[in-house]
Structure 1
Amino acid sequence: MKQTLDIVPLKSWFDTGDAPLIIAGPCSAETEEQVLATAHLLANTGRVNVLRAGIWKPRTRPGEFEGIGSIGLQWLRRAKEETGLPITTEVATAKHVEEALAAGVDILWIGARSTANPFTVQEIADALKGVDVPVLVKNPVNPDLSLWLGALERINRAGVKKLAAIHRGFSSYEKTAFRNEPMWDIAIQLKTMVPDLPVINDPSHICGNRELIPYIAQKAFDMDMQGLIVESHIDPSVAWTDAKQQVTPQALSDLLANLALRHAKSDDPVFEDKLAQLRKDIDKLDDQIIKILSDRMKIVEKIGEYKRDNNVTILQVSRWDEIIQKRSNVAQALKLDKEFTVKLLELIHNESIRKQNEIMNTKPVAEA
């Protein structure tokens, strides 16, 4: 279901022409020299639109570096004056908002931990009433689309129309190559629900290491995201926070130069005709899939009735194991991804269990 936000297009408040919006800078402002040196190198690449740096750093555990504090705002301001780059930083309280705006910060962003707490978001929203400043909202730590959308709505209702989302991945217990699982489907759902909302990708926090950043950045552009926010440090090896996921300004420039930018639409009528035909073919197959699933569920209902009438439990573990094994083998032979196949089967199985459970708890027609 589409949601309505009263926002203005990204191009109206930050026009980058046909290029994506690129925000870059150190994870944390550490020293004035570090901020200024990094800012100048980033500006010299000609590829960066906005300078970022963390001033207040919400850390998982106490005792870790929690940001240089308000003095860092003056370093950012000086970097802005010397390079001409607009500046942005994270805010987590009303006081942060007030201090950042007083220092001339051009764009504010709300971090993942803050997005997860509606009280925190509302406090920030109240501090933003009557202020014409762009605000970027990161997804919450956990995969919760409603929390993400709710945070955007709170900021929007405060009168902020220059609004964008940041996709930075989600926490997961599964051990993978990523620091935070991309879970692209959630970002896609957000784009589908609010088509006019710009979404910017944060490959640094998704990856947790610099080696994977080009892969995620390219995928973000392939998903029609409007920009990147990347952590860049003059010397990542001595960074005070998140050293492994930061890149040098030169490495960032090389990375951006090698990314392929694709257009969401084409004016070529031949291309459009071919695409329309292929989509029509998919629509036909989708209809067939839905019909087959419907037929399958009718058989599931008959199985549920038979189990009920013979006092047999719904879940038959051996049968489920057999389905997974056989269908996975077939899918593999047909070159379908195993993980996709298992997830699809789990969805179908869960719906089958739900239907059988309903039947189990109703009396046969003869007894009703």
Structure 2
Amino acid sequence: MENNKNLRNWLNKMDLAHPIVIAGPCSAETEEQVLKIAHQLKETDATVLRAGIWKPRTRPGNFEGVGALGLKWLQKAKEETGLMTATEVANANHVDLALKHDVDILWVGARTTVSPFIVQEIADALKGTDKIVLIKNPVNPDLALWLGAVERFYACDVKNLGVIHRGFSTYEKTRYRNNPEWQIPIDLQNKFPDLPLILDPSHIAGRRDIIFELCQTALDLNYDGLMVETHFDPDKAWSDAEQQITPATLKQMTIDLRIRKQEGDAVEFKNKLNTLRTKIDVLDHQLLESLGKRMKISEDIGVLKKNNNVAILQTKRWNEILGKMILEGEENQLSEEFILKIFKAIHQESINHQKMVINE
């Protein structure tokens, strides 16, 4: 679609030696705070100052943003530093106020993307705009909802459209605040290959120590930019303190990140190869996580068998699994020989875990 290419052309015109960096505090807290962070970001690779003005929190009682007053602070920061500005909008009124204060980039938050009604309201309010609009993935791993939000903005002739990958909620405890589920943004880009994709590592990580590795994975997957929550005193931030970094840390991070060049036949080959290998690395990680979860269930089965004096090996059940997996393997173009090797190994590891439980 032409809309996709408009924003990509804009990114190209920025003539940056690196993917675009959007940075700033989770929340605008005071005028002094916003201005201080903006001036410190001028010493980094950031070209856009972000700040939450309205903060929809999961539960009431937490800081929910300073409201429209903060837009004046963003406007002043823009005048003093030349940085572009960005904030989240969650309804038509937010859109109107942001436009009146000349905010350059509006993003639709994860909690908003889940509601087609609200997405349509915002899209209607932005109909025909040349402002940049970025759509975060929905809270839960639902590609159709994300695609639907993109399509609603396209239908309203929003010319400069991109998406933000901020991870997905899960009930299970993982090393991330929100699981990256890298395959979902990859699938989205397969549908819209020209749609710029930006990583929000702060919300995926939930803590500052793994932000760098998430950014590197994103760059290896050819993401177009990063949105990193940045505060001059992160530990005293009024919201999401654990996931914010200082402008100095951001500056060093962008120096340390490996960014592949995009020119020359040999370089292009290596870039494509690295991207495909990174996709494999992501899937391999998911495989190991799934196998670990499977073995934990096997241990639970071992406890149940021990308490009921039941033998570990259940031949009928094993044969049923094997037959089913061979058929499903064929549907995914996997040979019977391969399926037999894989699931015999999995079955043996499962038996080992059950033995360990029963012999305790």
TM-score range, shorter chain: 0.7 to 0.9
Give 1:113 shift. 0.5
Within 5 Å, give how 1:186-197 maps onto structure 2: 186-197=184-195
The aligned counterpart of 1:31 is 30
Larger Rg: 1
Secondary structure of residue in 2 paired with 1:166: strand
CA drift of 1:262 comes to 1.6
Aligned to 2:317: 317
Q: Give the conservation status (yes or no) of the 8 Å contact 1:65–1:241.
A: yes
Q: 1:264-294 CA deviation, whole Å, 9 max, x = no partner?
A: 674239958x97xx99xxxxxxxxxxxxxxx
Task: Report the Cα offset of residue 142 of structure 1.
Answer: 0.6
Report if aligned partners of 2:24, 2:51 keep a CA contact under 8 Å in 1.
yes
Query: Which SS does the other structure have where 1:268 is aligned?
Result: helix
What is the 5 A alignment of 1:341-356? Answer: none
1:297-351 CA distance string (max 9 Å, x none): xxxxxxxxxxxxxxxxxx9534467889973674799xxxx9xxxxxxxxxxxxx
**How far, CA to CA, are the matches of 1:9 and 1:265 in structure 2?**
22
SS in 2 for 1:76: helix
Give the alignment partner of residue 342 of structure 2, picking from 321, 327, 338. Answer: 327
1-structure distance, mates of 2:83, 2:347? 51
Given candidates 227, 230, 233, the residue that maps to 2:228 is 230
Q: Give the structure 2 partner of residue 97 of structure 1.
A: 95
Contact kept? 1:97, 1:127, Cα under 8 Å = yes
* Alpha-carbon distance in 2 for matches of 1:130, 1:111: 20
Identify the residue that residue 260 of structure 1 maps to in structure 2. Answer: 258
CA 1:320 to 1:32, structure 2 compared with 1: closer, same or farther past 3 Å? farther
- 1-structure distance, mates of 2:268, 2:236: 53
SS in 2 for 1:186: helix
Cα 1:318–1:73 shift into 2, 3 Å:
same
Tell me by how many angstroms 1:16 deviates. 3.3
In structure 1, the partner of 2:56 is 58
Deviations 1:23-63 (A, max 9, x none): 00000000111100001001122x00100000000111111
Moved over 2 A (4+): 4-18, 263-266, 268-272, 315-333
- Out of 178, 181, 197, the residue aligned to residue 179 of structure 2 is 181
Corresponding position: 1:10 with 2:16: no
Q: Deviations over 1:94-131 (max 9, x none)?
A: 00000000011011000000001000100001111132
Structure 2: gaps spanning 5 or more residues:
278-314, 326-338, 350-360
CA distance in 1, matches of 2:167, 2:148: 17
Amino acid at match of 1:240: W
> In 1, distance between residues paired with 2:63 and 2:185?
30
For residues 194-249 of structure 1, what are the alpha-carbon distances to aligned partners after superposition, in whole Å with 9 as ceiling and x for unaligned?
A: 11101001100010000000000000000010000000001001001000000000
Residues 316/25 of structure 1: CA separation in 2 closer, same or farther (3 Å cut) = farther
Q: Which amino acid aligns with 2:21?
A: I
CA distance in 2 between counterparts of 1:70 and 1:147 reads 29
Matches within 5 A, 1:85-164: 85-164=83-162
Displacement of 1:157: 1.3
Change (3 A) 1:210 1:267: same
Unaligned runs of 5+ in 1: 280-314, 339-368
Distance in 2 between residues matched to 1:105 and 1:118, nearest whole Å: 24
- Would you say how many aligned residue pairs link Structure 1 and Structure 2? 293
Q: Distance in 1 between matches of 2:316 and 2:26?
A: 51
Q: TM-score if structure 2 supplies the norm length?
A: 0.75
Cα distance in 2, alignment partners of residues 130 and 214 from structure 1? 36
Q: Distance in 2 between matches of 1:330 and 1:317?
A: 16
- Give the structure-1-normalised TM-score: 0.74
CA RMSD of the aligned region, Å?
2.9
Shift of residue 19, structure 1, vs aligned partner: 1.6
Q: Give yes or no for the alignment of 1:44 onto 2:43.
A: yes
Structure-2 separation of matches of 1:183 and 1:88: 25
